[in-house]
Amino acid sequence: MDRDGTLIVEKHYLVDPREVHLEQGVAEGLLILRRQGHPLIVLSNQSGIGRGLFTEADAQRVNARVAELLRSHGVDILAWYICPHVPQALCDCRKPSIGMALAASREWNLQLAGSYVIGDKRTDLELAGAIGAEGLLVTTGHSAGALEWARLGGHRIFDGVRAAAEYIAARDIESAGAPPAAPAEP
């Protein structure tokens, strides 16, 4: 998953952990994914480090605050990866490059093909395509710049992480061959 604009409300070069706010439905969505057995990993481009606007330690403090907020809802993130480079650096870790995803795959013995990438930008969906995952666009954060491209490319679009998680859970049930659960009685 992406961090800024996906898990947390987008802030321009967020450096202050006190300004971290979860997007609506994120905790509920991540709980759904955990119940389904999906490892929760965050891959985040943080070019503010490379631009000298904040340090890697600042980015880690923001990650720690996000983790703290999620833990208060019973959600633990398995791993956090950040790319500290500016786009012009042409590194192999900045999304849509696959470096962070490959590192997560190696370190956690994960199969990337068939996984999901949830994010608010075209680069998140391009990363998904590069690793054989399904890219899910959420309409939070910077999604306006990716909506038309995502629609034309046949990508699924959701109003937030919870809706994306519900889609993934339904796909899990389908692939297991089990009938979907009946709706709860009011």
For residue 80, how many C-alpha atoms fall within 13 Å in the half-sphere facing its CB?
18
- Residues of the chain above pLDDT 90, percent: 91
Kindly state the DSSP code that residue 8 receives in the 8-state scheme.
B
Residue 177: pLDDT band (50, 70, 90) is: confident
Q: Give residue-wise pLDDT tens across range 58-111.
A: 999 999 999 999 999 999 999 999 999 999 999 999 999 999 999 999 999 999
Q: Is residue 125 a contact partner of residue 150, using CB atoms and an 8 Å limit?
A: yes
Kindly state the DSSP code that residue 88 receives in the 8-state scheme.
G
In DSSP terms, which residues pair with 184 in a beta bridge? none
Cα dist. 94→117, 123, 129, 155, 175 in Å?
15, 9, 15, 21, 32
When pLDDT is averaged across residues 136-154 and rounded to a whole number, the result is 95
List of residues 6+ apart from 117 with CB closer than 8 A: 1, 2, 43, 101, 124, 125, 127, 128, 131, 133, 134, 135, 136
pLDDT of residue 147: 96
| Backbone conformation region of residue 69, classed left if phi is above 0, alpha if psi is from -120 to 50, else beta | alpha
Q: Give residue-wise pLDDT tens across range 20-38.
A: 999 999 999 999 999 999 9
Task: Find where tokens 């949830």 sit.
Answer: 118
CA dihedral 163, 171, 122, 110 (to 10 degrees): 120
Q: Give residue-wise pLDDT tens across range 110-128.
A: 999 999 999 999 999 999 9
pLDDT of residue 2: 98
CATH number at 17-175: 3.40.50.1000
Residue 40: pLDDT band (50, 70, 90) is: very high
Instruction: Write down the mean pLDDT value for the chain.
Output: 94
Asked if residue 186 has pLDDT above 50, the reply is no
The rounded distance, in Å, linking the Cα atoms of 90 and 42 is: 21
- Residues of the chain above pLDDT 70, percent: 95
Sequence spans of domains, the chain: 17-175
pLDDT of residue 185: 46
Residue 176: pLDDT band (50, 70, 90) is: confident
Q: Which of 16, 15, 5, 12 is nearest to 44 (CA)?
A: 5
pLDDT of residue 175: 86
